[in-house]
């Protein structure tokens, strides 16, 4: 995986407390602090896009380009790209996570429910993406506690920095509180262009990536996040 020079995204909010002060705050106080600092300006940011806090959320992650896209769906209309964030750090190389301790960030189709939110995280704020999913279990892959979180260190997770995870966390948690049952999180090795797939022809992961490509292209074509399921050891989509 090629090295990326990390350039932080500039968000319009007051910075979070220093890490040592933050760690002393109980989870409810953390969320009170984040909401007080972010919500007035975040509401304005969303309004520019015709969106509101609590709208459904969809996340796509791209390992090679170190990007996280956050999409939202307004009450009326199609999904809109709200923001693309740089990923501060992810570990491993292109290819799926296979076992506990391999330091790989997963690739595949995951979901986040309310129980996976962790406002008490030692990495500022975090949510578990749901690895291993049914596909991973079918292929006997192991591992646990794979998060999208703050900070700038990763041992298999997607680290976003503390200021960035605050915005992402608020939007994910608000969507779940407002009735979205699960937030889809699609993790890809790269954007599936014809040129990039041609470069991957000799990879041992080619057939796996071709399977992921079907789900990627389903969203590209229809702008509706496909629902992934597992059949005969492969992803299917509806």
Q: Is 149 a catalytic residue?
A: yes
Element at 58 (helix H, strand E) = strand 57-62
Tokens representing 150? 């703050």
Q: Give the span between the Cα atoms of 98 and 107, in whole angstroms.
A: 10
Element at 90 (helix H, strand E) = strand 89-90
Active-site pick, 89, 124, 157, 187: 157
- Best CA proximity match to 71, nearest among 189, 155, 208, 180: 180
Tokens representing 114? 């309310």
Q: Give the span between the Cα atoms of 54 and 11, in whole angstroms.
A: 20
Tokens representing 67? 């990007």
Tokens representing 181? 């049952």
Q: Is 187 a catalytic residue?
A: no
Per DSSP, helices labelled H in 49-161 are 134-138
List phi, psi (to 5°) of 222: -115, -10
Active-site pick, 149, 186, 222, 223: 149
List phi, psi (to 5°) of 237: -140, 140
Residues with a catalytic annotation lie at: 149, 157
């Amino acid at each position: 995986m090629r090295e990326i020079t990390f350039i932080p995204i500039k968000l319009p909010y007051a910075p979070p407390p220093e890490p040592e002060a933050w760690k002393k705050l109980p989870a409810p106080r953390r969320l009170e602090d984040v909401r007080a600092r972010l919500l007035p300006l975040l509401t304005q940011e969303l309004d520019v896009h015709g969106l509101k806090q609590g709208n459904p959320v969809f996340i796509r992650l791209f390992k090679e380009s170190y990007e996280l896209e956050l999409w939202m769906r307004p009450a009326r209309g199609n999904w809109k790209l709200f923001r693309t964030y740089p990923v501060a750090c992810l570990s491993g190389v292109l290819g799926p996570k296979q076992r506990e301790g391999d330091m790989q960030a997963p690739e595949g189709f995951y979901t986040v429910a309310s129980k996976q939110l962790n406002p008490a995280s030692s990495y500022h704020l975090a949510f578990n993406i749901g690895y291993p999913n049914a596909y991973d279990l079918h292929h006997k892959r192991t591992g646990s506690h794979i998060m999208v979180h703050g900070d700038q260190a990763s041992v298999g997770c997607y680290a976003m920095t503390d200021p960035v995870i605050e915005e992402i966390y608020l939007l994910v948690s608000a969507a779940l509180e407002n009735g979205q049952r699960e937030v889809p999180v699609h993790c890809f090795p790269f954007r599936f262009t014809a040129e990039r797939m041609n470069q991957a022809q000799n990879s041992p992961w080619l057939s796996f990536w071709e399977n992921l490509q079907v789900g990627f292209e389903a969203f590209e074509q229809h702008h509706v996040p496909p629902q992934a399921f597992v059949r005969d050891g492969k992803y299917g989509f509806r």
